[in-house]
C-alpha cells in the first residue's frame, strides 16, 4: 500500500485538497500499477507559527 504524506501551509480549500489527492492518487496508480484504493494520503497542514526559515518564523517573515 503506497502511503503519501503531504506537508503544506494551511489555508487551502477543501476543493483544492480534493483535486490534489485525486491527482496524486492518479499519478501513483499509473506509476506503481496499483489500485486507487491502495493509495493512502495524509495531509499535514502547517500554520505560519509552526514553520521557520533562517531562524525566523514564517509568521514574522510576512511583516
Task: From first to last of the 63 residues of the chain, give the pLDDT tens digit.
Answer: 999 999 999 999 999 999 999 999 999 999 999 999 999 999 999 999 999 999 999 999 976
Catalytic choice (2, 21, 48, 58): 2
Residue 54's alpha-carbon distances to 2, 18, 45, 51, in angstroms, are 33, 32, 21, 10
CATH number at residue 44: 3.30.429.10
How many distinct structural domains can be found in the chain?
1
Q: In sequence order, what are the beta bridge partners of 4?
A: 41
* CB 2, CB 26: distance < 8 Å: no
**Residue 36 annotated to the active site:** no
Q: Residue 12 sits in which domain range? A: 3-61
Residues 6+ away with beta carbon under 8 Å from 62: 48
Cell numbers found for residue 28? 501513483
Is-above-0.75 flag for pTM? yes
Amino acid at each position: 500500500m503506497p502511503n503519501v504524506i503531504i506537508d503544506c501551509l494551511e489555508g487551502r480549500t477543501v476543493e483544492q485538497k480534493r483535486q490534489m489527492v485525486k491527482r496524486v492518487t492518479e499519478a501513483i496508480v499509473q506509476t506503481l500499477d496499483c489500485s486507487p484504493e491502495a493509495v493512502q494520503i495524509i495531509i499535514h497542514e502547517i500554520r505560519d507559527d509552526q514553520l521557520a526559515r533562517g531562524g525566523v518564523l514564517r509568521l514574522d517573515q510576512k511583516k
